[in-house]
Amino acid sequence: MALKVKAVERLLKFDKNDAGVYRYVMKPEMYSSLSQAKVIREAALRSGVSQGVMQACWDAAGEVIKAWATEGHSVALPGLGSMRFGLRSKSVENVNDVKTGLIKSRRIIFTPSVDLKDELAATAIQITCYDRNGNEVKRVTSSDDGTVEDPENEGGENNGNTGDNGGGNGQLIDDGE
């Protein structure tokens, strides 16, 4: 199994007066969403319990996770990691200015388990490149050990893993999610 990625040539502009430059921007190809019923059928098959029992357990686990997370707990998701709620807000200098209106967004924060991270790092990558007209121009397949190639940091620390979000040259690329 491999992760499928597409690299699409896009015009990137960083300023209204900027003519822009064409760059290949990568993002994972999204497959269809699996229905809850399909997931429950597969889990029932793999566990040997009936679909009715699996549905009841699924519903109960969902309710428990929702209740505990909304009480402020970080909740374990078996085999995956943990999730918790968070938020983004403005800061203020004066305590008298603190109010709920400062909250800009409520978020769900997922922290993957080490095993899940290792599994992802060991998964092969298949990249299909498309030019600005939508024509396929190249395919790249990798079955590497998960290290990221970085020609600007050959053999440097972190095996070339910079932790940036893929824009290269310090540019942040919005992946649309």
Which pLDDT belongs to residue 164? 38
Closest of 69, 101, 99, 68 to residue 85, by C-alpha: 69
pLDDT at residue 148 is higher than 70: no
149: pLDDT confidence band, cut at 50, 70 and 90? low
To the nearest 10°, report the CA torsion of 14, 15, 18, 23. Answer: 10
3-class DSSP state of 112: strand
For the residues of 16-73, what is the DSSP string, one character each? Answer: TT---EEEEEEEEPP-PPPPHHHHHHHHHHHHTS-HHHHHHHHHHHHHHHHHHHHTT-
121: pLDDT confidence band, cut at 50, 70 and 90? confident
Q: Name all domains of the chain by residue range, CATH numbers in brackets.
A: 2-146 (4.10.520.10)
Which pLDDT belongs to residue 3? 87
49-58, 82-91, 99-108, 115-124: lowest mean pLDDT where?
115-124
Percent share of the chain, pLDDT over 70: 80
d(CA 61, CA 55): 10
> What is the mean predicted confidence (pLDDT) over 125-153?
78
Strands 21-28 and 2-12: antiparallel
> What is the mean predicted confidence (pLDDT) over 166-175?
38
Which pLDDT belongs to residue 163? 38
3-class DSSP state of 83: strand
Q: Is the dihedral of CA 116, 113, 170, 174 positive or negative?
A: positive
> What is the mean predicted confidence (pLDDT) over 32-44?
93
Tell me the residue type at 103. I
Using alpha carbons, list the distances in angstroms from residue 49 to 56, 72, 78, 120, 145: 11, 32, 18, 29, 37
> What is the mean predicted confidence (pLDDT) over 47-60?
95
Which pLDDT belongs to residue 160? 37
Which pLDDT belongs to residue 142? 81
Please tell me the pTM assigned to this model.
0.62
Tokens of 69: 């997370």
